[in-house]
Amino acid sequence: MTNTPIIVWFRQDLRLRDNPAFIAAAETGQPVLPIYILDDENAGDWKMGAASQWWLHHSLTSLNKNLDGNLRVYHGDASTIISDIITETKATTLYWNRCYEPWRIARDKGIKSSLKDKHIHVQSFNGSLLFEPHAVLKEDGTPYKVFTPFYRKGCLERNVEPPKPQDTPDAIEYYYATNKTQISDLKLLPTIPWDTTMREEWTIGEDGAQKRLSEFLNNGLNNYKEGRNHPAQDNVSRLSPYLHFGEISPRDIWHETKATMVAQGLEKDGDHFLSEIGWREFSNNLLYHFPDLPRENLQKKFDYFPWCDDQEALKAWQTGQTGYPIVDAGMRELWQTGYMHNRVRMIVGSFLVKNLLLHWHHGESWFWDTLVDADLANNSASWQWIAGCGADAAPYFRVFNPITQGQKFDKDGTYIRKYIPEIAALPEKYLNCPWETPQDILNHCGITLGKTYPNPIVDLKVSREQALNAFQSIKENS
């Protein structure tokens, strides 16, 4: 029986370093059979979006390389596939790292119990979070709903530090099995080549993730607290897609950051960055304890909110044609790169929900399809936050003004000019409000508003008033 493999089921942990399930399997000395299953059947509404699929293709390719070509991939219902593999290989042991989306929790639970009946040893590990969501609770045993106490009391002041990352095991014996399905058979790549602009943007995979982390720590951490607000500056980590697919572990980030901030005297910036990792933990906690988070308003009174349903406005938002440059720049960055700077995410989110009065679900769905870092916990918690209906949400009267935000955080217009080339020639003064540009300057720049670049699709002042009234109305309803 020594020849039977130990199966390691890769999911959102596409790395070898600090991968608890993989490392534990390697340490048994049994031959390891690494597998990946594209399980669309159980995902329901949350089947991976197009940008995520694109990323996944390259991530699996990279993982397979690091596994010396031993990764076996499958497409279909995970439970059936795993049963088949067990029958075929006579494996008696299966390891994986836990995932926290409700549909995955339900599926994994089913698999675990049915395999247990067949006397298969199943063991799961924590590879994706600093702390287990069921372990971070208030004194009274209920989950936190406010970030600050969650992070301070629940994470920082707990008597255990996040575990130190484990190194990649050096000698691994793999179970030999031929690949019936190739990664390309999963059909994750786009049929029309919309990914040309995205390819240059990212180095996908575990090595790329490590490189990105060290580049960020060496160049971006200094002045992070302030610089992270400016989309044209290199002060954000851009680690979100790597974290989502598990190409790097949060524990790795945590301890590397600690070391750097101590060594370079960047306590303030480092602490702030760590708190962003804390937000990721918080979102996962919310999703774990409130599994309806992706669909239901956390604050029930928002069920009565009078949303608009202007499909044309939605289309303009999606395609970056609202006439508000900072909003359009963000939406185009998203389309071209699969990513959007955090500050700009808030601006476009506020605009969708509070100026266009469109339901946050529209934003959530669009982001789900177009972001390479689309993550159920982060995406739904953040949309609820900006819409004002979430846990610890932005107060209703906080409506971002896209003109002010642009002038404040893209002062010299670098970001706007990059993504909206058709107005790049405008002087800074008019870059955030092209419609105020004197006609002779417009002529000189070769811009015809309404043609070269759209006129604003809504009046900021009027729509803001509308939003405030709408919020007023649900207050009276509740």
User: For the chain, how far is it from start to end, CA to CA, in angstroms?
Assistant: 65
Q: Write down the least CB distance from residue 97 to DNA, Å.
A: 25
- Active site (annotated) includes residue 202: no
Stretch that binds DNA, among 72-80, 149-157, 240-248, 305-313 (CB under 7 A): 149-157
146 binds DNA (CB under 7 A): yes
Strands 93-97 and 121-125: parallel
Find the binder of DNA among 9, 100, 131, 147 (CB under 7 A). 147
CA–CA separation, 381 vs 364, rounded Å? 10
Q: Write down the least CB distance from residue 3 to DNA, Å.
A: 50
Query: Which candidate in 360, 366, 368, 385 is catalytic?
Result: 360
CB closer to DNA out of 361 and 464: 464
415 binds DNA (CB under 7 A): no
343 binds DNA (CB under 7 A): yes
Q: Which of residues 274-313 bind DNA (CB under 7 A)?
A: 276, 279
CA–CA separation, 34 vs 269, rounded Å? 39
CA–CA separation, 388 vs 298, rounded Å? 10
User: HEC string of the chain?
Assistant: CCCCCEEEEECCCCCCCCCHHHHHHHHHCCCEEEEEEECCCCCHHHCCCHHHHHHHHHHHHHHHHHCCCCCEEEECCHHHHHHHHHHHHCCCEEEEECCCCHHHHHHHHHHHHHHHHCCCEEEEECCCCCCCHHHCCCCCCCCCCCHHHHHHHHHHCCCCCCCCCCCCCCCCCECCCCCCCCHHHHCCCCCCCCCHHHHCCCCCCHHHHHHHHHHHHHHHCCCHHHHCCCCCCCCCCCCHHHHHHCCCCHHHHHHHHHHHHHHHCCHHHHHHHHHHHHHHHHHHHHHHHCCCCCCCCCCHHHHHCCCECCHHHHHHHHHCCCCCHHHHHHHHHHHHHCCCCHHHHHHHHHHHHHHCCECHHHHHHHHHHHCCCCCHHHHHHHHHHHHCCCCCCCCCCCCCCHHHHHHHHCCCCHHHHHHCHHHCCCCHHHHCCHHHCCHHHHHHHCCCECCCECCCCCCHHHHHHHHHHHHHHHHHHC
CB closer to DNA out of 343 and 417: 343
Query: Which candidate in 368, 383, 401, 432 is catalytic?
Result: 383
135 binds DNA (CB under 7 A): no
Q: Which of residues 14-33 bind DNA (CB under 7 A)?
A: none
Find the binder of DNA among 255, 361, 408, 418 (CB under 7 A). 408
473 binds DNA (CB under 7 A): no
Q: Number of residues in contact with DNA, rule: CB under 7 A? A: 36
Find the binder of DNA among 144, 175, 216, 273 (CB under 7 A). 144
CB closer to DNA out of 97 and 322: 322
- Active site (annotated) includes residue 342: yes
Q: Write down the least CB distance from residue 461 to DNA, Å.
A: 7
Q: Write down the least CB distance from residue 392 to DNA, Å.
A: 4
CB closer to DNA out of 183 and 344: 344
Find the binder of DNA among 54, 95, 150, 419 (CB under 7 A). 150
- Active site (annotated) includes residue 307: yes
Stretch that binds DNA, among 114-122, 214-222, 414-422, 459-467 (CB under 7 A): 459-467
Q: Which of residues 202-261 bind DNA (CB under 7 A)?
A: 229
Q: Write down the least CB distance from residue 410 to DNA, Å.
A: 13
- Active site (annotated) includes residue 279: yes
CB closer to DNA out of 314 and 347: 347
Site map 377..406 versus DNA, x via CB under 7 A? -----x--x------x-xxxxxxxx--xx-
159 binds DNA (CB under 7 A): no
CB neighbourhood size of 78 (10 A): 21
Query: Which candidate in 41, 201, 276, 296 is catalytic?
Result: 276
Residues of this chain that bind DNA (CB under 7 A): 138-139, 142, 144-150, 152-154, 229, 276, 279, 342-343, 346, 382, 385, 392, 394-401, 404-405, 408, 460-461, 464
Write out the catalytic residue numbers: 276, 279, 307, 342, 360, 383
